[in-house]
Structure 1
């Protein structure tokens, strides 16, 4: 049975990416998803202004490298989309990057599952990129008609498609106040931002085969020194412990106590 929720979408799109905008706007029209364009911030052309307004080093400490201009622009564009959701006082909304491509099950997910999922989690991510270190499954919160909602211990990266409640948008704006790593890293680190986070299984959106708007990252970085490898290993164990504790608390709150999510109140 469908829901009455007509969840709006905000699409991040650079002015120069006309083909992308035509493709995704046509797709969303066919899918019956109301949408609004968010002009993406072209940091390559505006870095002087950005550095004047945001007085900090844009340094991705875990990788020991400066953030790319494209990463900074993407990050700030997502913040702009989240602020639009809060200003419009929307109870829930979707954020898409303009390279989103839709699975054939997406219409069923949108009509039947997404609003229900957003009563269980303030961030619902339904696109992701898996690596060797990410989880391809997770603790199930609810089973929908097109997908399950799960909490992975090691979330997938990528930020091409996710939905938030208003509470989630407010929390993310606060969590994203310091631009110190790519947006997708901040989005999925629920042990740090503390916002209820979950993914769909399977993902209902993927990234289309466009040339990336974000510069390629340095794949020829020097090997880590032993001390740095040890530090990262210890940090990884700490993150894992925090995530296990988070999932345990979530299960108690959602299942054993039958408590309503704050986002559904």
Structure 2
């Protein structure tokens, strides 16, 4: 089987990061291409007009997003669109990833499994519960109850990308937070082990960054209520999925 295409999200101006990730792919003998990251400060980009600032300020955060956060979401969103347009599963990386030994073998495995699962996280699971779906001598695929905390590397199938697009006509969350809300878009997350990449501290992120800013007190009540609503919906959704997995297993 031919491995699925690999796209690395990277700002055009980040030449040092591009050289860093290119050297890793060359070392592992894996083909890839860069996807020019969307600059969140480019107010002429029509995709950025989808951002729901009212919901952001009064429900999901209470404070304005950074340009980096907006650009990060738009970049991933654009690759979901590309996935659907190509009708081809993709592997998506951010340019601060550290490829692991046998990355080529992990990519081949992801290529074999992605159409069945839709979304495979290809980096470490940070937290939450996992339930093993299948396991071989040298791999394991697990359902994830919590897919918050970064989108440094993942594989995605067209049908899963379409779910994310359909439920995200406008957005107000960081992109990894949106991915974690499976109750919203109906796309479950699964983890593929061994990891394709690991986190690295070689660079500070240039795609997404956060500023220290306090939420105004008058926005906190609505934000806290909406946060409680999301937690309840997530709990009920995960309970339903775990019951289904137990019944089918």
Residue 28 of structure 1 deviates from its aligned partner by 2.1
Which of 111, 116, 120 is the equivalent residue of 1:120?
Answer: 116
Q: 1:129 to 1:118 in 2, by over 3 A?
A: closer
Q: Does 1:215 align with 2:215?
A: no
Please tell me whether the aligned partners of residues 129 and 156 of structure 1 are also in contact (alpha carbons under 8 angstroms): no
Pairing 1:249–2:244 present: yes
| CA RMSD, Structure 1 to Structure 2 (Å) | 2.9
Counterpart in the other structure of 2:147: 155
Deviations 1:127-177 (A, max 9, x none): 2573xxx31x41111114544211122224101111011211222222332
Q: 1:81: how far off?
A: 1.5
> What displacement does 1:30 show?
3.0
* Alpha-carbon displacement from aligned partner over 1:168-224 (angstroms, at most 9, x marks no partner): 122222233212111111122222110232123564423332112123243655789
Q: Distance in 1 between matches of 2:229 and 2:171?
A: 24
> Residues 193-208 of structure 1: matches in 2 within 5 Å?
193-201=185-193, 203-208=195-200
* In structure 1, C-alpha distance between the alignment counterparts of 2:91 and 2:171, rounded to whole Å: 22
Residue of structure 1 equivalent to 2:76: 78
Q: More deviation in 54-63 or 160-169?
A: 54-63
Query: Does the aligned pair in 1 maintain the 2:63–2:213 contact within 8 Å?
Result: no
Q: What pairs with 1:1-265 in structure 2 (closer than 5 Å)?
A: 4-44=1-41, 46-47=42-43, 49-50=44-45, 54=49, 56-58=51-53, 60=56, 61-90=59-88, 92-111=89-108, 113-128=109-124, 130=126, 134-135=127-128, 137-201=129-193, 203-209=195-201, 210-213=203-206, 214-218=208-212, 220-221=214-215, 229=224, 232-233=227-228, 235-250=230-245, 252=247, 255=248
Where does the alignment leave 5 or more consecutive residues of structure 2 unmatched?
Answer: none
TM-score normalised by length of structure 2: 0.83
Highest relative contact order (Cα 8 Å, sep 6+), 1 or 2?
2
Within 2, Cα distance between the matches of 1:125 and 1:146? 17
Q: Residue 263 of structure 1 aligns with which residue?
A: none
Instruction: State whether residues 9 and 36 of structure 1, in contact with CA within 8 Å, keep that contact through their aligned partners in structure 2.
Output: yes
1:149 counterpart SS class = strand
CA distance in 2, matches of 1:184, 1:55: 17
The answer to whether the 8 Å contact 1:126/1:162 transfers is: yes
Q: Distance in 1 between matches of 2:76 and 2:10?
A: 11
Judging changes above 3 Å, is the alpha-carbon distance between structure 1 residues 66 and 225 closer, same or farther for their aligned structure 2 residues? closer
TM-score, normalising length: structure 1:
0.78
Q: Secondary structure of 1:11's partner?
A: strand
The residue matched to 2:117 in structure 1 has which SS?
Answer: coil
Query: Matches of 2:91 and 2:209 in 1, distance apart?
Result: 25
Q: CA deviation at 1:71?
A: 0.7
